[in-house]
Chain A
Amino acid sequence: NAGVTQTPKFRVLKTGQSMTLLCAQDMNHEYMYWYRQDPGMGLRLIHYSVGEGTTAKGEVPDGYNVSRLKKQNFLLGLESAAPSQTSVYFCASRSGGEARTQYFGPGTRLTVL
Chain B
Amino acid sequence: QQQVKQSPQSLIVQKGGISIINCAYENTAFDYFPWYQQFPGKGPALLIAIRPDVSEKKEGRFTISFNKSAKQFSLHIMDSQPGDSATYFCAASMAHQKVTFGIGTKLQVIP
Which residues of A are in contact with B by a Cβ distance under 8 Å? 4, 33, 40-45, 48, 50, 58, 90, 92, 98, 100-107
Contacts and interface: CB of A to CB of B under 8 A. Distances in A.
A100 B95 CA distance: 8
Given A40-B9, A90-B44, A101-B49, 10 more contacts: A33-B98, A40-B103, A42-B102, A43-B44, A48-B98, A100-B99, A102-B46, A104-B36, A106-B41, A107-B41
A100 to B, nearest CB: 5
Contact of B34 (A98, A101, A103, A105): A101
B34 A42 contact: no
B101 interface: yes
B43 A43 contact: no
B42 A107 contact: yes
B34 A90 contact: no
A57 B65 CA distance: 32
Nearest to A90: B43
Contact of A104 (B9, B32, B41, B43): B43
The DSSP consensus for interface residues of chain B is: loop
B98 A45 contact: yes
Interface of B: 6, 9, 32, 34, 36, 41-46, 49, 89, 93, 95-96, 98-99, 101-104
| Residue among B43, B49, B95 with the highest chain A CB neighbour number at 10 A | B43
Given A45-B98, A58-B98, A104 B93 contact: no
A47 B95 CA distance: 18
A5 B41 CA distance: 14
A43 B45 CA distance: 13
Given A33-B98, A40-B9, A42-B104, A100 B43 contact: no
Contacts of B98: 33, 45, 48, 58
A43 B89 contact: yes
A42 B101 contact: yes
Nearest to B105: A42
Contacts of B95: 98
Contacts of A100: 32, 34, 49, 93, 99
